A and B are shown apart, each in its own frame.
Chain A
Amino acid sequence: MRALRIDRKVARFASARVAGMLAPGSGAKWGPLELDDVPAIALPGEDWVRIHPRLSGICGSDLSTVDGVSSRYFEPLVSFPFTPGHEVVADTDDGRRVVLEPVLGCVTRGIDPACPACARGELGNCERLAFGILDAGLQTGFCCDTGGGWGTEMVAHPSQLHDVPEDLSDEAAVMVEPAACAIHAALRVPITPGATVAVIGAGTLGLLTVAALRAFTPAGQIVTAARYPHQIRLAKELGASIVCESGELSRVVRRQTASMAYGDQLTGGADVVLDCVGDSATISGALQIVRPRGSVVVVGMPSSVKLELTTLWHRETSLVGAYAYGTEHLADGRTARTFDLAFSLVREARLERLVSVTYPLHQYEDAISHAANAGRRGAVKVAFDLRHDRKR
Chain B
Amino acid sequence: MPRPGFVLEVDRSTPPTLFWRGENFSLEKLPAGRSRVIYAPEPLPAIKDVDAAIRHALANPIDSDPLKALMFSGMKLTIAFDDISLPLPKMRRPDIRQRVIEAVLDTAAEVGVDDVHIIAALALHRRMTEDELRHALGDRVYDAFAPRGQLYQHDAEDPNGMTSLGQTPHGEDVEINKRAAESDLLVYVNINMVAMDGGWKSTATGLSSYRSLRHHHNVNTMRQSRSFMDQHRSELHHSNWRMGKVLKESGPRIFQIETTINTDTFPAPFEFLSKREWEWGAKERATYLATTKALNRTPVKLARKIFHSIESPHQMTSIQCGEVEAVHKITTENVWKQQLVEVKGQTDILTMGIPFISPYNVHSIMNPILVACMGLGYYFNMYKGKPLVREGGVVIMTHPTYPDFHPVHHPSYIDFFEQVLADTTDPAVIEAKYEKQFAEDEWYKHLYRTGYAYHGVHPFYMWYWASHAMAHLGRTIVVGGDPRAVRRLGFTPASTMSDAFEIAQDVVGPSPTVTHLHTPPLMVADVS
Binding site for B on A (CB under 8 A): 242, 244-245, 248, 251-252, 254-255, 258-261
Contact = CB atoms under 8 A, between A and B. Distances in A.
A260 B446 contact: yes
A248 B446 contact: no
B109 interface: no
> Can you list the 7 inter-chain pairs with the closest CB atoms, starting with the nearest?
A248-B418, A260-B443, A251-B415, A255-B415, A252-B419, A258-B442, A244-B418
Given A252-B418, A260-B443, 19 more contacts: A244-B418, A244-B422, A245-B418, A248-B419, A251-B415, A251-B418, A251-B419, A252-B415, A252-B419, A255-B415, A255-B419, A255-B438, A255-B443, A258-B441, A258-B443, A259-B443, A260-B442, A260-B446, A261-B443
A261 B443 CA distance: 8
Contacts of B446: 260
Contacts of A248: 418-419
A255 B414 contact: no
Contacts of A251: 414-415, 418-419
Interface in B406-462: 414-415, 418-419, 422, 437-438, 441-443, 446
B420 to A, nearest CB: 10
Task: Choose among A254, A255, A259, A260 the residue with the greatest number of B CB atoms under 10 Å from its CB.
Answer: A255
A251 B422 CA distance: 14
A252 B437 CA distance: 12
A303 to B, nearest CB: 31
A245 B422 CA distance: 11
Nearest to A252: B419
Contacts of B414: 251
A254 B419 contact: no
A237 to B, nearest CB: 15
Contacts of B443: 254-255, 258-261
12 contacts: A248-B418, A248-B419, A251-B414, A251-B415, A251-B418, A252-B415, A255-B419, A255-B437, A258-B441, A258-B442, A260-B442, A260-B446
A245 B419 CA distance: 10
A242 B433 CA distance: 14
A106 B414 CA distance: 53
A117 B443 CA distance: 46
Interface majority SS on B: helix, strand, loop or mixed? Answer: helix
A254 B412 CA distance: 11
A258 B443 CA distance: 7
Nearest to A261: B443
B441 A255 contact: yes
Interface size class of B (residues with CB under 8 A): 10 to 19
A254 B443 CA distance: 9
A95 to B, nearest CB: 50
A252 B419 CA distance: 7
A259 B438 CA distance: 12
Interface string B106-120: 000000000000000
Contacts of A261: 443
A242 B442 contact: no
Nearest to A266: B443
Contacts of B438: 255
Nearest to B437: A255
A335 B471 CA distance: 55
A222 B37 CA distance: 52
A252 B434 CA distance: 13
A242 B418 CA distance: 11
A254 B442 CA distance: 10
A257 to B, nearest CB: 10
A252 to B, nearest CB: 6
Contacts of B418: 244-245, 248, 251-252
A259 B441 CA distance: 8
Contacts of B415: 251-252, 255
A251 B410 CA distance: 13
Nearest to A251: B415
Contacts of A245: 418
A234 to B, nearest CB: 16
A225 to B, nearest CB: 11
Contacts of A259: 443
A254 B446 CA distance: 13
A238 to B, nearest CB: 18
Interface in B4-18: none
Interface string B74-91: 000000000000000000
Contacts of B422: 244
A259 B442 CA distance: 8
B332 to A, nearest CB: 40
Contacts of A254: 443
A250 to B, nearest CB: 11
Nearest to A255: B415
A49 to B, nearest CB: 51
A251 B418 CA distance: 9
A194 to B, nearest CB: 17
Contacts of A252: 415, 418-419
Task: Choose among B419, B438, B442 the residue with the greatest number of A CB atoms under 10 Å from its CB.
Answer: B419
A271 B419 CA distance: 21
Given A251-B414, A255-B437, A244 B442 contact: no
A261 B415 CA distance: 15
Nearest to B456: A255
Contact of A242 (B419, B437, B441): B419
A245 to B, nearest CB: 7
Nearest to B419: A252
Contacts of A260: 442-443, 446
Given A251-B414, A260-B446, A244 B419 contact: yes
Contacts of A244: 418-419, 422
Contacts of A255: 415, 419, 437-438, 441, 443
Nearest to A232: B422
B481 to A, nearest CB: 19
A220 to B, nearest CB: 15
Interface string B360-401: 000000000000000000000000000000000000000000
B418 to A, nearest CB: 5
B363 to A, nearest CB: 23
B404 to A, nearest CB: 13
Nearest to A243: B422
Nearest to B444: A255
A136 to B, nearest CB: 47
A278 B411 CA distance: 28
A251 B438 CA distance: 12
Nearest to B446: A260
Nearest to A259: B443
A288 to B, nearest CB: 15
Nearest to B412: A255
A248 B420 CA distance: 12
A242 B446 CA distance: 25
Contacts of B442: 258, 260
Nearest to A245: B418
A261 to B, nearest CB: 6
A104 B419 CA distance: 45
Contacts of A242: 419
B479 to A, nearest CB: 25
Nearest to A267: B443
A26 B3 CA distance: 71
A355 B443 CA distance: 42
B449 to A, nearest CB: 12
A160 B512 CA distance: 71
Interface in B471-521: none
A259 B446 CA distance: 11
A265 B422 CA distance: 25
A258 B437 CA distance: 9
B134 to A, nearest CB: 30
B369 to A, nearest CB: 15
B410 to A, nearest CB: 12
A255 B447 CA distance: 14
